[in-house]
Amino acid sequence: MDLENIFKIANALALLSWIYLAIFPFRPATSRIIMGTVVMLLCSAYAFLVFQSIQPADWQQFNSLAGIQSLLSSPGAALVGWLHYLAFDLMVGLFIAANAAKHGIRHWTILPCFFFTFMLGPVGLLLYLLVRWAVTRDYLAENF
């Protein structure tokens, strides 16, 4: 399968997962479905591609910004980076859903957090942590 098709499939799976998470964030099956299927597939594709796209000599490039920029200039490495974002952002979305349920934060309140996590990763997590702080009045509320 070529890189463009992997990219399209990964994006579609991630988008469908985010839609499902937004509709059913507090269902126990949501985490199992997304983690056990989509995140696992994204991680598997990542693992397969990382060893095809990054050569042993490339590992030293992780020590500088210029090195990272050089690594991500190839289509395979850029896709590896994108799969990394998709998998980890979904994990953050699952954390937000579980943590919101634990702290009694309403569904509609976390929807903007999901959107920003999907689009801008850490911005969505920051937004959720601020929402949680506003709702619980406890900045250091337990995460799990």
Helix (H, G, I), strand (E, B) or coil at 15: helix
Place of tokens 């000599």: 57
The pLDDT of residue 29:
93
pLDDT in tens, the chain (144 residues): 899 999 999 999 999 999 999 999 999 899 999 999 999 999 999 999 988 877 777 777 778 899 888 888 888 889 999 999 999 999 999 999 999 999 999 999 999 999 999 999 999 999 999 999 999 998 888 887
Q: Could you state, in order of their start, the residue ranges of all structural domains in the chain?
A: 3-136
Q: What is the C-alpha separation between 36 and 13, in angstroms, rounded?
A: 13
Output the DSSP codes for 75-117: HHHHHHHHHHHHHHHHHHHHHHHHHHHHTT--HHHHHHHHHHH
The pLDDT of residue 56:
75
